[in-house]
């Protein structure tokens, strides 16, 4: 996946996580909704000025915005999760944390 698509997915993820519509975020970063949509789809790249505004709106760092390690296919993510769990072994404290986390996520 290219940098435009990865950045677009990250911006969309942040927008949704913060409860913004495309319309609201586009107002906050002073671009058109159509331009934001094109950025989120990975068709266009955000300008440096727009990136600065996005960072300020979400109160994140540049590193946070460009961190895209999590953008993997579901099967690959599941494999990575299983590998991490297998490394924990029989540590009861860590297993309890994982259990509680997965239990809370399955309620949604």
Q: Which CATH number do you get for residue 13?
A: 1.10.260.40
pLDDT category of residue 55 using cuts at 50, 70 and 90: very high
Instruction: Mark whether 57 and 78 lie in a shared domain.
Output: no
Residues spanned by the domain of 17: 3-66
pLDDT at 67: 80
- Please indicate, yes or no, whether residues 82 and 38 belong to a single structural domain of this protein: no
- Give the per-residue pLDDT at 89: 84
| CB burial of residue 107 (10 Å; 0-12, 13-18, 19+) | exposed
pTM of the model: 0.64
Q: Are residues 44 and 26 in the same domain?
A: yes
Q: How many domains does the chain have?
A: 2
Nearest to 36 by CA among 27, 45, 49, 26: 26
For the cut 70, the answer to whether the pLDDT of residue 94 exceeds it is yes
Return d(Cα 97, Cα 104) in angstroms, integer. 11
Helix, coil or strand: residue 1: coil
Q: Are residues 26 and 47 in the same domain?
A: yes
Percent above pLDDT 70 for the chain: 94
3-state secondary structure of 78: helix
């Amino acid at each position: 996946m290219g940098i435009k698509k990865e950045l677009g997915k990250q911006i969309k993820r942040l927008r949704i996580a913060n409860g913004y519509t495309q319309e609201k975020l586009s107002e906050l970063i002073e671009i058109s909704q159509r331009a934001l949509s094109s950025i989120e789809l990975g068709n266009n790249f955000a300008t440096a000025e727009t990136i600065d505004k996005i960072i300020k709106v979400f109160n994140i760092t540049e590193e946070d915005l460009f961190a895209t390690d999590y953008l993997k296919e579901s099967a690959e993510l599941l494999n990575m999760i299983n590998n991490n769990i297998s490394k924990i072994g029989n540590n009861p404290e860590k297993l309890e944390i994982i259990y509680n986390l997965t239990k809370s996520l399955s309620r949604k």
